Amino acid sequence: MVDPLFGIAKLDGELGGFPTHKSVIFSASPAVGNEAFGYQIVANNEKDNKILIFLNRTSPPAYFKEMEEFHFPVSKNIFVLDAYSNLTGIESSGSANVIVIKNPNDKEEILRTLGAELEKGYTLVLFDSFSLVVDTFGFDYAISIIAMLREKINKSETAAALLFTDWGYGENERAGLMNLTDAEVVIRGIEKRVIFGQYFGVIKCKWLPGKSFTSTLFKVVKPGGIKIAIPKILVTGPTDAGKSSFIHSASKNAVSVDKLGGTIALDHGSVDFKGYLADLFGTPGQERFDPLLKLLGGDSIGVVLVVDCTKPEQFPRAIEMLRKTETFGLPIVIAANKADLPGALSIDDIKNRLHLNNDVPITATVAEDLSRIDPNQPTKLKKSGVDEVLSTLFRLVIEEDLFK
């Protein structure tokens, strides 16, 4: 077996994957769905792990249909303990991978069947949903289920995820339940000024004592699943440095408002990269469009500053543009473009001349093919450089706390 992962970019980074013998509860406010977290975890682990889903929220066929909408594979490694079908009177499909609870209102049968199943060598267990267990049978019973679960996963190579919807339960009862799990991830909605969306954040992790965590915006996309959302990254820099080229190389669907090769209003592109979903906004470089810069910079949470390595005389303008877009001080990565052209300065030299903090990351980017450059079209940049800029910036951005 291979150690499970969450399959959610930031969560795996922060928690170091999903260790066996551990239980993680996903506690969502009712306005925000948590089901996708379950699909994502299942889909990410079905190849190498034997998975048991305790399902009392919907029927197995409906569950698998939802997974297919995300284009997630439904394989023979996924087993379902069906505690739903017999409530509706519709017979469960009874396939080999579905274990049916005859009377889903019988708490003894659930405890017994679940206990027996947990002996069968599953490496990942998912409860969808655990709050329904609480709603149906009360907190005492839910606690006895967790206690049993903990005992079983301690003995075997198993990790457990519990999906929980926070229906305003009593504070003490809720805390009692959460304390029994090894980690707690909260999922909430945010409506702060113009940022409307959903976020998640780890609020407790017993296997990483003392570590602090930050919250992150996410989006659920079909197909694809859970992506870390970065609503606005500003790409700025002097004329002809390669801002549009960067955006067109980083995203598949970039749109530019340009005339004769120069951007006159903006470039926009969406990037889907390593579990992150980001929108890139590119500014024009020429001074006569400066009145637009403030508008384009508003609400950005990170900046790519593109400079032309062969034109140090433009560097003061580059810094000035950070001020004009009011993005000075945000997480920033420098893309030192045209680094392979004759007369290009070295990375250290560029750093010195830009007078930025020493810890500002700087990455060389170059055109994919110098012979195919059309001055009236964005140039395709080499993927390695673009990817390095993006991954460095995404790392910086998600380290910033959303609510600081």
Partner 1 sequence: MATKSEALRTVLEHLNTIGGIKASAVISADGLPIMSLIPGEIDANTFAAMLASMVGAAEAAIKAIGAKNILERVVAESKDIRVIAVRAGEDAILTIMIDPNVNYGLILLEAKKASDQISIVMKQ
Which positions lie near partner 1, rule CB under 8 A? 31, 189, 191, 193-196, 231-232, 253, 255, 257, 265-266, 268, 270, 279, 281, 291-292, 295-299
156 or 270, CB closer to partner 1? 270
176 or 298, CB closer to partner 1? 298
The DSSP secondary structure of 281-325, one letter per residue, reads: EE---SGGGGGGHHHHHTT--EEEEEEETT-GGGHHHHHHHHHHT
Kindly compute the dihedral angle of the four CA atoms of residues 174, 175, 180, 184, in this order, to the nearest 10 degrees: 90
Q: Shortest gap between Cβ of 198 and partner 1 (angstroms)? A: 10
Q: Shortest gap between Cβ of 264 and partner 1 (angstroms)? A: 9
Tokens of 370: 């110098």
Q: Shortest gap between Cβ of 219 and partner 1 (angstroms)? A: 11
Tokens of 107: 């708490």
Q: Are 18 and 159 in contact (CB under 8 A)?
A: yes
30 or 73, CB closer to partner 1? 30
232 or 382, CB closer to partner 1? 232
61 or 231, CB closer to partner 1? 231
Whole-angstrom distance, CA of residue 147 vs CA of residue 22: 12
Q: What residues contact residue 376 under an 8 Å CB cut-off, 6+ apart?
A: 260, 261
Q: Are 216 and 301 in contact (CB under 8 A)?
A: no
Q: Shortest gap between Cβ of 403 and partner 1 (angstroms)? A: 17
65 or 222, CB closer to partner 1? 222
Q: Are 118 and 149 in contact (CB under 8 A)?
A: yes
Whole-angstrom distance, CA of residue 53 vs CA of residue 81: 6
152 or 243, CB closer to partner 1? 243
Q: Shortest gap between Cβ of 272 and partner 1 (angstroms)? A: 12
Helix residue ranges per DSSP H, 48-170: 60-69, 85-88, 107-117, 130-137, 139-155
Burial class (CB in 10 A: 0-12, 13-18, 19+), 54: buried
Whole-angstrom distance, CA of residue 13 vs CA of residue 27: 19
Q: Are 199 and 187 in contact (CB under 8 A)?
A: yes
Q: What residues contact residue 329 under an 8 Å CB cut-off, 6+ apart?
A: none
Please count the other Cβ atoms lying within 10 Å of the Cβ belonging to residue 258. 18
271 or 367, CB closer to partner 1? 271
Q: Shortest gap between Cβ of 232 and partner 1 (angstroms)? A: 6
Q: Shortest gap between Cβ of 233 and partner 1 (angstroms)? A: 12
21 or 232, CB closer to partner 1? 232
Q: Shortest gap between Cβ of 383 and partner 1 (angstroms)? A: 22
Q: Shortest gap between Cβ of 167 and partner 1 (angstroms)? A: 16
148 or 264, CB closer to partner 1? 264
Q: By C-alpha distance, which of 392, 33, 71, 43 is closest to 224?
A: 71
Whole-angstrom distance, CA of residue 273 vs CA of residue 233: 14
DSSP state of 123: S
Q: Are 164 and 25 in contact (CB under 8 A)?
A: yes
Q: Shortest gap between Cβ of 210 and partner 1 (angstroms)? A: 35
